[in-house]
Structure 1
């Protein structure tokens, strides 16, 4: 499985990633064929009017997999998400940084502190270009876009490939994984979405700037970025 779909190999297989981001046992139990690594080609265009750039920015997005699929399908997870996010708003209401939270139009709370900007959608690549930390569900696209933007991550994986990606985030020194559980189960989020997780997020965000040399690690990963094709070896 790759993400949430079956992977049927062809003669040439393009992988949007970098060899340095991929587990060393990538080829274990896989058909011996050609995998070609291609980096992201999106040009970052910054819109500095979107937020107050004088303060650090925390970008908070769980993507459509969580705020769309799980939200719509599991009422208990929806209520736990509301509690978790409400707790975060209280813990961060007096902090000297800004938070951009993408809610995908879901009604989670009636009021947010002044340092919270709640948007239905955001140009993620643009926002990441100015973010200090990214709170993410560790989806494949979000992960790679954060790497390109050289932004440390706080990972809260929910299910599927998110668990594997969150593990790599911490293993490679790109951020902190708050859910160290390898069991893939869409029912689990209702158990870890609580006030304690919100407190862990706060501690992780406080810890990242002083303890992780994320940008240096990513700089090494992105060596050779100017090459259009990077072959896995």
Structure 2
């Protein structure tokens, strides 16, 4: 009994010691997107479990947070929109729209009572972890809290300007941007498109977006340079990896982690859904367009074709739908919400129809469920192409799909076991990598590492401190040198040719005079 008491006291003392010596960390995740919030909050919860004192500004505050986790409630700025129309926008227009709206959202949050309350708390922070997407006006808090360690987090793959923030080489000739449905084996035309878009993205971000963020920052306080802070990241955490994207060269302080939102203890199925799936003798198909898209927002024609097609299958279909539906096939169950991970983990689920979101793809791979992607915008197009490239599923176009193409696609996925075998292989690869260190543990270790060694000179890449002029100067010098040598060679060669022609003429005329 005494031994048990001593062990319990030791555990309590150890936990207390962790809380005393933990770091103060501020997390900022402004996105009004559930899929962006999930992996970010998973990291913050993991840091709290390590004993750090966590404060998180989020549009979806954590429910029932631990004692060392404090919410800064930005839910007033979370507004759902109809995103189906974004599929008609080009990559350039969509980026402009996203950056403009992000600055407006950033301003609204920054000048809100929630942030005022945070500032009034007079806290100090050892690190700020910020969603490194389009919310650079939040850099004012970096200055306000006396420039703590700055860490970037992306729930998607790498973005050109994020790579630039740490000087990570990012060759658009080889690395496809997620704005386009390209693979790592781009054609000449695709490479030209990729180079033009990534170059434009960098210029637009630097000279339009950051200047707009600077003006917002100047309204909040003076003496803040968003340009300088944007180059001062000690660590960048990417919520993707080479399995879900493609291999690329990364610096030691740019780390890829994935599937942070997947928990070992997923939320259980409701009794109604459990019974529906258990009794699916011919298997089941799960249909969900994620958190940013809703089926009731789909055009009437494709929605009708979809319901008719699903109703004609012998499999049962669990369809996430929030709205009125005139057609109610007997094999289809409509639900407003479902615990997605628990659904995908069910042994009867044979296929997953989704929008191509990264987190959804990661969950499908984790539970080895072949997919049918119906992409709309953003990285969904890139992910859908990756699904085809990896042979783990098929795709449909919302504007061209018909009842017959939907049925044909779903039957191919269910009956052709190649897709199941391929996704099982990829799932095994992902989980084998996690045997060494789990993604969430890798993220936590790297955060704690840059906090222990805040100077981080051993991670700093010299390329980050070089201007474009300095970087390309050697090429300018070499091209100038070669041009000069070519010119000198040309002049000398022309003289030699002139002498040769004159000598030929003299030799030709000599016999005549003789």
Name the TM tier (shorter chain). Answer: 0.7 to 0.9
Q: Out of 147-156 and 59-68, give the one that drifted further.
A: 59-68
Structure 1 length as normaliser, TM-score?
Answer: 0.74
Aligned match of 2:380 in 144, 162, 165?
162
Q: What is residue 20 of structure 1 aligned with on the other side?
A: 243
Aligned match of 2:342 in 126, 140, 153?
126
Q: Do structure 1's residue 148 and structure 2's residue 366 form an aligned pair?
A: yes
Q: What is residue 228 of structure 1 aligned with on the other side?
A: 438
Report if the CA contact (8 A) 1:59-1:133 is conserved. Answer: yes
> Compared with structure 1, are the counterparts of its residues 55 and 112 closer, same or farther at alpha carbon in structure 2 (3 Å cutoff)?
same
Report if the CA contact (8 A) 1:101-1:118 is conserved. Answer: yes
Unpaired stretches in structure 1, ≥5 consecutive residues = 72-77, 180-191
Q: What is residue 188 of structure 1 aligned with on the other side?
A: none
> Compared with structure 1, are the counterparts of its residues 13 and 222 closer, same or farther at alpha carbon in structure 2 (3 Å cutoff)?
same
CA RMSD of aligned residues (A): 2.8
Question: In 2, Cα distance between the equivalents of 1:198 and 1:164?
Answer: 25
Report if the CA contact (8 A) 1:137-1:155 is conserved. Answer: yes
Unpaired stretches in structure 2, ≥5 consecutive residues = 1-35, 37-97, 99-132, 135-153, 155-161, 166-232, 444-514
Larger radius of gyration: 2
Give 1:38 deviation, angstroms.
Answer: 4.3
Question: In 1, Cα distance between the equivalents of 2:351 and 2:427?
Answer: 14
Question: In 2, Cα distance between the equivalents of 1:67 and 1:95?
Answer: 22
Question: In 2, Cα distance between the equivalents of 1:219 and 1:204?
Answer: 25
Report if the CA contact (8 A) 1:38-1:228 is conserved. Answer: no
Question: In 2, Cα distance between the equivalents of 1:163 and 1:36?
Answer: 21
Aligned residues: 202
Question: In 2, Cα distance between the equivalents of 1:113 and 1:37?
Answer: 41
Report if the CA contact (8 A) 2:242-2:248 is conserved. Answer: no
Structure with higher helix content: 2
Q: Per-residue displacement from partner, 1:44-99 (whole Å, max 9, x unpaired)?
A: 4653335324331111111232218x93xxxxxx4x1x322322222332422100
Q: Per-residue displacement from partner, 1:10-56 (whole Å, max 9, x unpaired)?
A: 322223334322223476xxx88422424434124653335324331
Question: In 1, Cα distance between the equivalents of 2:252 and 2:433?
Answer: 25
Q: What is residue 282 of structure 2 aligned with on the other side?
A: 55
Structure 2 length as normaliser, TM-score?
Answer: 0.36
Give 1:153 deviation, angstroms.
Answer: 0.6
